[in-house]
């Protein structure tokens, strides 16, 4: 294939048709189209919902729009954001994508430092996929926030808030990871080697800071005791993200490297399988002890209450089943593939329980006598559980399209998935 | 100045005039769940005798307000008199403040696509020279009394010096500034209308808590 070279980076001279109309890209478009529909639904409810206040009723007597808005106020569902459940599937997906994507980058950086040859040879593809996942997470959170006011993050920043700290971190983190990819895909190995270790150690430090800030973000919500009583939240985020990251690396390797690596593919899968067992065991140890420290109100809801079915399915899918399937080496990779799929579903459910569980115990028990009603016409809720809205689900589906599209375009242009000898 | 409110909650008859007055005065979005202030009801019985307790409530304008700490843009901020305010123009709808508030005192105003909450009518009444909030002015049974905790001779502090009171969810450490008066008569009934772990305070016991929290906030 013909290539152009800019600053040492070889860029494949692919045609527009090859770049934008491959099978992967067509799948990405389908996912993106579903996501776009979800965004349209969210925005139409957020920015175009008919609303009214007392002034409208006085200033526009007889207005049909005001009448419709008042009808919505009485009989409608109460707007896009529910008072009792502020953080929903957007946060779940954001957490999953960001943590898991970062964990892939973190894991690859560690493997490079420890000279794991097979990971070094495949590092660019893994890191690019991890970065694409970070962008998938950012897409979800961009839909969740009121983007029309985002400039205030910079104009009047509260630099102590976890939310604000994430934004400048991304402005450092993303270029940093891109630089790392640059080092990996350029063939200036001598120069790359000189700085690679420094870059990799810095990369790990930035990853750790990211996990710390994410934990701070949840820890600052002092009223939500599930989040504040989780012991060593940063460590929990790293361990659970590692479990998911390795599962994604297994699937990525299967689709990308099972032919290109030849006999080494089995060695790579075995390495990932063994690594997976260690982190699954760590996660199991964490979950087995964490609930000794968690506020009993929240612990009761998750372990014995309405969330227990989700919690035990999560343990089965993220810990039990994959551990059983991956413990023994099999000649057929199908078992580790099933184990990895199980981990991906299980850890996603784990994130779901973490976010929704934080909201599960209502804040409405203000007087210590029992829960108050949220709406005039509602029953008092002793626990809160919401199923995600269809538009949220579609936005999550769209985020998968973002991941695929970004990865595929970068791979087509820079051959990031190519096996590179160091 | 350190604005606060005393609520003689056992005077509440749940007429909801305060809720209506708040919406009218402050242009709060219409909707049953869109409230800056509210009255919750608690029903139970003592030895087979049923009773109902009304609990009027709103933002506690905490001295150590977690909603302010978590806000990334400064949309939630401490204003004059230690009031916790929400600037709708700066709100990016991260909903962090809603998660951080132990009192569920915040909601999303869909008209402005931003979080809304009680302001003690600062922008619509107090800053214009009024001395009462809309909810206080309209209450037929004089449940609420707005005032300044720094004004030792003021009606609010005088009342707190005279009566015992409690605050909501004290264990969260937010140092709230809604003071619920503990009834002087029929204390056994009163004790049943509040949670068992609730600490009953006097001005002497709670004043140092406020002073310490205010000093901490000024330092930070």
Percent of chain A with pLDDT over 90: 67
Q: Which of A74, A146, A220 sits opposite B92 (nearest CB)?
A: A146
With beta carbons under 8 A apart, name residues in chain B contacting A142.
none
Core vs surface per residue B178-189: b (16+ CB within 10 A) or e = bbbbbbeeeeee
- For residue A259, give both structure tokens: 């032919």
Give pLDDT, residue B149: 96
Q: What is the pLDDT of residues A30-48, one digit of tens each?
A: 999 999 999 999 999 999 9
Give pLDDT, residue A169: 87
- Partner-chain contact A375 B89, CB within 8 Å: no
- pLDDT range class, residue A3, cuts 50, 70, 90: confident
- Angstrom distance (rounded) from CA A321 to CA A316: 6
DSSP A139-170: HHHHHHS-GGGTTHHHHS--TTSHHHHHHHHH
CB atoms within 10 A of CB A337: 16
- Partner-chain contact B102 A222, CB within 8 Å: yes
- Partner-chain contact A376 B113, CB within 8 Å: no
- pLDDT range class, residue A422, cuts 50, 70, 90: low
Query: Residue A420: which of A206, A195, A126 has the closest Cα?
Result: A126
Please tell me the distance in Å from B173's CA to the nearest CA on chain A: 9
- Angstrom distance (rounded) from CA A339 to CA A361: 33
- pLDDT range class, residue A403, cuts 50, 70, 90: very high
Q: Which of B28, B168, B193 sits opposite A53 (nearest CB)?
A: B28
Distances (CA, A) of A313 to A40, A289, A350, B145: 33, 18, 9, 52
**B-chain residue closest to A59, CA distance:** B27
Average pLDDT, chain A: 91
Query: Residue A369: which of B54, B47, B15, B102 has the closest Cα?
Result: B54
Secondary structure, 3-state, A5-34: EECCEEEECCCHHHHHCCHHHHHHHHHHHH
The pTM of the full predicted model, rounded to 2 decimals, is 0.93
Query: Residue A240: which of A89, A396, A103, A87 has the closest Cα?
Result: A103
Give pLDDT, residue A192: 57
Core vs surface per residue B79-109: b (16+ CB within 10 A) or e = bebbbbbbbeebbbbbbbbbbbbbbbbbbbb
* Least confident segment among A59-63, A349-353, B78-82, B157-161: A59-63
Where in chain B are the domains? 3-219
- Partner-chain contact B66 A221, CB within 8 Å: yes
With beta carbons under 8 A apart, name residues in chain A contacting B27.
53-55
Average pLDDT, chain B: 93
- For residue A143, give both structure tokens: 């839909």
State how far Cα A92 lies from the chain centre. 7
- pLDDT range class, residue A330, cuts 50, 70, 90: confident
- Partner-chain contact A87 B99, CB within 8 Å: yes
Report DSSP state, residue B29: B
User: Which class does domain B3-219 fall in?
Assistant: alpha beta
Average pLDDT over every residue of B204-208: 96
Average pLDDT over every residue of B71-96: 96
Q: Decide if A325 contacts A339 (C-beta within 8 A).
A: yes
- Partner-chain contact A367 B30, CB within 8 Å: no
Q: Which tops the pLDDT comparison, A4 or A344?
A: A344
Q: Sheet harboring B144-148: ordered strands across? A: B144-148, B3-7, B178-181, B165-166
- Partner-chain contact A162 B55, CB within 8 Å: no
ipTM of the complex: 0.91
Is the C-alpha dihedral spanning A253, A257, A258, A261 positive or negative? Answer: negative
Average pLDDT over every residue of B77-84: 96
For domain A88-414, give its CATH number from 1.20.1630.10, 3.40.50.9100, 3.30.310.220, 3.10.180.10: 1.20.1630.10
- Partner-chain contact A152 B57, CB within 8 Å: no
Q: Which of B30, B90, B174 sits opposite A70 (nearest CB)?
A: B30
B45 pLDDT exceeds 90?
no
Give pLDDT, residue B156: 97
Percent of chain A with pLDDT over 70: 97
Core vs surface per residue A169-187: b (16+ CB within 10 A) or e = eeeebeebbeebbbbbbbe
Q: Is B104 on the interface with A (CB under 8 A)?
A: yes
- Partner-chain contact B194 A368, CB within 8 Å: yes
- Angstrom distance (rounded) from CA A225 to CA A228: 5
**A-chain residue closest to B111, CA distance:** A51
- Angstrom distance (rounded) from CA A400 to CA A34: 10
Where in chain A are the domains? 88-414
- pLDDT range class, residue B196, cuts 50, 70, 90: confident
**A-chain residue closest to B59, CA distance:** A366
**A-chain residue closest to B34, CA distance:** A78
- Angstrom distance (rounded) from CA A267 to CA A332: 13
A190 pLDDT exceeds 70?
no
Query: Residue B31: which of A89, A76, A132 has the closest Cα?
Result: A76
A280 pLDDT exceeds 60?
yes
Distances (CA, A) of A131 to A396, A406, B57: 17, 9, 47
A113 pLDDT exceeds 90?
no
Contacts A–B by Cβ distance under 8 A: 192
Q: Decide if A119 contacts A261 (C-beta within 8 A).
A: no
Give pLDDT, residue A356: 95
Give pLDDT, residue A392: 96
Q: Which tops the pLDDT comparison, A97 or A189?
A: A97
DSSP B132-164: S-HHHHH-TT--EEEEETT-TTSHHHHHHHHS-
Give pLDDT, residue A72: 87
With beta carbons under 8 A apart, name residues in chain B contacting A363.
101-104
Average pLDDT over every residue of B141-158: 96
Give pLDDT, residue A120: 87
Q: Which of B40, B114, B172 sits opposite A372 (nearest CB)?
A: B40
Give pLDDT, residue A10: 86
Please tell me the distance in Å from B197's CA to the nearest CA on chain A: 8
Q: What is the pLDDT of residues A242-251, one digit of tens each?
A: 999 999 999 9
With beta carbons under 8 A apart, name residues in chain B contacting A70.
30
With beta carbons under 8 A apart, name residues in chain A contacting B57.
366
Q: Is B43 on the interface with A (CB under 8 A)?
A: no
Q: Which of B28, B41, B71 sits opposite A161 (nearest CB)?
A: B71
- Angstrom distance (rounded) from CA A196 to CA B141: 73
- Partner-chain contact B90 A221, CB within 8 Å: no
- Partner-chain contact B30 A51, CB within 8 Å: yes
Give pLDDT, residue B49: 84
**A-chain residue closest to B91, CA distance:** A149
- Angstrom distance (rounded) from CA A402 to CA B86: 34
- Partner-chain contact A79 B108, CB within 8 Å: yes
Highest mean pLDDT: which of A178-182, B47-51, B205-209?
A: B205-209
- pLDDT range class, residue B13, cuts 50, 70, 90: very high
């Amino acid at each position: 294939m013909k290539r152009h070279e800019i600053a040492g980076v070889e860029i494949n001279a692919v045609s527009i048709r090859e770049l934008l109309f491959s099978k992967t890209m067509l799948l990405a478009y389908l996912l993106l189209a579903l996501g776009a529909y979800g965004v349209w639904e969210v925005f139409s409810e957020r920015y175009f919902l008919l609303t009214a206040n007392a002034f409208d009723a006085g200033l526009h007597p007889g207005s049909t729009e005001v009448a419709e808005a008042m009808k919505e106020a009485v009989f409608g569902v109460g707007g896009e954001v529910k008072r009792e459940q502020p953080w929903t599937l957007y946060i779940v997906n954001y957490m999953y994508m960001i943590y898991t994507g970062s964990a892939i980058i973190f894991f690859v950086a560690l493997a490079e430092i420890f000279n794991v040859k097979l990971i070094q040879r495949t590092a660019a593809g893994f890191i690019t996929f991890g970065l694409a996942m970070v962008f998938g997470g950012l897409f979800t959170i961009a839909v969740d926030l009121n983007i029309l006011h985002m400039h205030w993050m910079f104009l009047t920043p509260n630099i102590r808030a976890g939310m604000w700290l994430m934004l400048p971190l991304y402005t450092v983190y993303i270029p940093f990871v891109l630089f790392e990819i640059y080092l990996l895909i350029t063939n200036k190995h001598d120069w790359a080697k000189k700085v690679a270790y420094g870059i990799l150690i810095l990369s790990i430090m930035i990853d750790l800071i990211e996990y710390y800030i994410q934990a701070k973000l949840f820890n600052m919500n002092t009223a939500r005791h599930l989040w504040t009583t989780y012991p060593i939240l940063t460590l929990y985020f790293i361990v659970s993200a590692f479990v998911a990251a390795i599962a994604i690396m297994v699937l990525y390797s299967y689709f990308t490297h099972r032919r290109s690596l030849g006999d080494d593919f089995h060695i790579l899968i075995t390495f990932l399988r063994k690594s997976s067992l260690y982190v699954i065991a760590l996660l199991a140890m964490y979950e087995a002890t964490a609930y000794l420290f968690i506020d009993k109100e929240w612990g009761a809801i998750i372990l014995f209450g309405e969330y227990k079915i989700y919690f035990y399915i999560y343990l089965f899918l993220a810990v039990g089943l994959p551990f059983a399937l991956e413990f023994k080496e099999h000649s057929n990779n199908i078992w580790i593939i099933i184990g990895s799929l199980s981990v991906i579903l299980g850890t996603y459910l784990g994130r779901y329980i973490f976010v929704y569980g934080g909201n599960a115990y209502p804040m409405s028990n203000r007087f210590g006598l029992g829960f108050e009603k949220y709406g005039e016409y509602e029953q008092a809720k002793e626990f809160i559980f919401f199923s995600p809205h269809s538009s949220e689900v579609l936005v999550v589906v769209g985020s998968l399209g973002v991941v695929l599209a970004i990865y595929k375009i970068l791979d087509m242009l820079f051959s990031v998935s190519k096996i590179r000898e160091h | 100045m350190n604005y606060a409110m005393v609520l003689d909650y056992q005077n509440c008859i749940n007429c909801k005039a305060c809720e209506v007055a708040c919406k009218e005065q402050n242009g709060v979005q219409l909707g049953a769940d869109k409230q800056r202030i509210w009255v919750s009801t608690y029903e139970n019985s003592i030895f087979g005798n049923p009773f109902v307790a009304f609990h009027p409530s709103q933002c506690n304008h905490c001295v150590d307000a977690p909603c302010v700490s978590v806000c990334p843009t400064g949309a939630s901020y401490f204003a004059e008199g230690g009031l916790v305010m929400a600037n709708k123009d700066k709100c990016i709808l991260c909903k962090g403040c809603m998660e951080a508030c132990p009192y569920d005192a915040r909601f999303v105003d869909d008209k402005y696509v931003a979080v809304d909450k009680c302001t003690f009518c600062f922008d619509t009444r107090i800053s214009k020279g009024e001395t009462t909030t809309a909810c206080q002015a309209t209450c037929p049974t004089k449940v609420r009394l707005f005032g300044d905790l720094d004004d030792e001779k003021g009606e609010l502090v005088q009342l707190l010096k005279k009566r015992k009171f409690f605050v909501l969810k004290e264990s969260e450490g937010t140092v709230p500034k809604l003071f619920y008066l503990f009834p002087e008569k029929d204390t056994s009934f009163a004790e049943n209308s509040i949670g068992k772990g609730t600490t009953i305070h006097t001005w002497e016991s709670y004043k140092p808590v406020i002073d310490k929290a205010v000093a901490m906030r000024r330092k930070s």
